[in-house]
Amino acid sequence: MDALLLARIQFGFTISFHILFPALTIGLASYLVVLEALWLRTGRAGYLTLYQFWLKPFAVAFAMGVVSGIVMAYQFGTNWAGFARFAGAITGPLLTYEVLTAFFLEAGFLGVMLFGLKRVGPGLHFLSTCVVALGTLISATWILASNSWMQTPQGHDIVNGRAVPVDWLAVIFNPSFPYRLSHMVVAAYLATALVVGGTAAWHLLRERDHPLVRTMLSMAMWMLLACAPLQAVLGDLHGLNTLQHQPAKLAAMEGHWRPTPPGSGVPLILFGWPDMQAETTRYKVEIPRLGSLILTHSWDGQIPALSSFPPDERPNSTIIFWTFRVMVGLGLLMIALALWGNWLRRAGRLYVSRPFLRCALAMSPAGLAALLAGWYTTEIGRQPWIVYGLQRTADAVSPHTTGEVGFTLALFVAVYLAVFGAGTAYGLRLLAAGPQEAGDDPGPGGAGEARQPMRPISAAQETHHGD
């Protein structure tokens, strides 16, 4: 392995951790808005209890997302100095806008959201929850604007070998931005719905059948039923956009090496093994013409073949062929789970069907896994470009030795597994505890709990002794 490949692995490793936590904070923040709105509208204490329960995992995910995001920002300067010099005039302001409009907004209201439930009026607290949720969406908007510009750059000039913005609206609203932003936000909602549903299924399988647990499962399945089919539509639109602006990526995703005769249509390769050296997809199982129907919405439409691109401009089809199929396969399972849950709801067996509950539990990490698979498809599919068509990844890396990058990569792996492993374990413990049932003593502490102590000493249990 050379320094370039190690630097790419390091960035991929760190972003794989980072992207999971913001996705959960996006979904959980919106879920908390819904729960608090239902509590204020109906007055039912159960919604407040669920709010308090999910506020803790949200806080853990938010904290780990901030920590991992800081590391990501530093890597642009340490490992990708060439990219910073070339595109810093565009990506730098976009990331600064994210800090100014989203991070400061979240930081200003997060404390009220976490600890102000009994210290401010319900209206102000609900406003704080809404602002934090809005901040997560604004943050995603700026991050996706920056990354989408790297995929489909426009609104710039090249001056002295550097990309200089000339039209900020064109930079932000580049051709792939709307599809990537909507796809990412819905993916975050799907991942959160599956985690919430999996948590409820875990408790129901352990005979912890409680109205609050049933409410969690019901809300999760409604969200899954709404978002999973929507994500399929957004994915189709995103695919059409990719065909137009990044045809080499689409050809690699489909393992399509050779042009098909006019009028014959492109087959859909379900499974196979793309061989980059032999320039063919081995052991393929395909359905005639279905590729044309899905990719071009016509019976005999054509897509560019991977062999029509120079070898040094082809993405690694062996990898993204399978990451794409993992994402699509998990998406189809989500749709199936949502339809199954809807059928069981109509039959009155949603909360008691153990096969369904086991599947819901098994699918709880599927949203996060699909999100990672989709991200790998997007980023690896852009190669060998770091800014598509403008700068190659090999020209963007910092001049480090293989040993230097290898040492920092090993250090990152050790620290990340320790820190984020502990954080994830703690988050799972919170989920395993389950929401407090009505009438239980809520305890003296914890973010957002009714008896959050005013002073540290107040957390001690009072003991009264007779004279």
Quote the CA–CA distance of 464 and 467 in Å, as a whole number. Answer: 10
Angle, helices 3-42/45-78, rounded to nearest 10 degrees = 160
Q: Residue 1: what pLDDT?
A: 65
pLDDT at 169 exceeding the cut of 90: yes
The residue among 280, 254, 250 whose CA lies nearest residue 267 is 254
Which of residues 451 and 229 earns the better pLDDT score? 229
CA quadruple 337, 343, 347, 351: dihedral, nearest 10: 20
The residue among 169, 172, 190, 168 whose CA lies nearest residue 180 is 172
Quote the CA–CA distance of 139 and 356 in Å, as a whole number. Answer: 35
pLDDT at 459 exceeding the cut of 70: no
Confidence grade of residue 424 (pLDDT, cut at 50, 70, 90):
confident
Q: What is the pLDDT of residues 323-342, one digit of tens each?
A: 999 999 999 999 999 999 99
Q: Half-sphere exposure of 383 toward its Cβ, with a 13 Å CA cutoff? A: 19
Share of the chain above pLDDT 90, in %: 36
384-400: average pLDDT: 89
304-314: average pLDDT: 88
3 state DSSP class of 365: coil
Residue located via tokens 């949720």 = 133
431-436: average pLDDT: 82
Share of the chain above pLDDT 70, in %: 93
The residue among 126, 118, 125 whose CA lies nearest residue 454 is 118
Bridge partners of 159, per DSSP, are 162
Residue located via tokens 């049932």 = 437
The residue among 164, 177, 220 whose CA lies nearest residue 196 is 220
Instruction: Note whether 149 and 169 are within 8 A (CB).
Output: no
Quote the CA–CA distance of 81 and 396 in Å, as a whole number. Answer: 6
Q: Across all residues in the chain, what is the average pLDDT?
A: 85
pLDDT at 376 exceeding the cut of 70: yes
Q: Residue 403: what pLDDT?
A: 87
Residue located via tokens 């190669």 = 383
Question: ∠38-428-411 over CA atoms, to 5°?
Answer: 130
Q: What is the pLDDT of residues 85-144, one digit of tens each?
A: 898 889 888 888 888 888 778 778 888 888 878 888 888 889 998 999 998 899 889 989
3 state DSSP class of 77: helix
Amino acid occupying residue 402 = T
The residue among 160, 34, 168 whose CA lies nearest residue 85 is 160
pLDDT at 439 exceeding the cut of 80: no
Confidence grade of residue 458 (pLDDT, cut at 50, 70, 90):
very low
Q: What is the pLDDT of residues 333-370, one digit of tens each?
A: 999 999 999 999 988 888 888 999 999 999 999 999 99
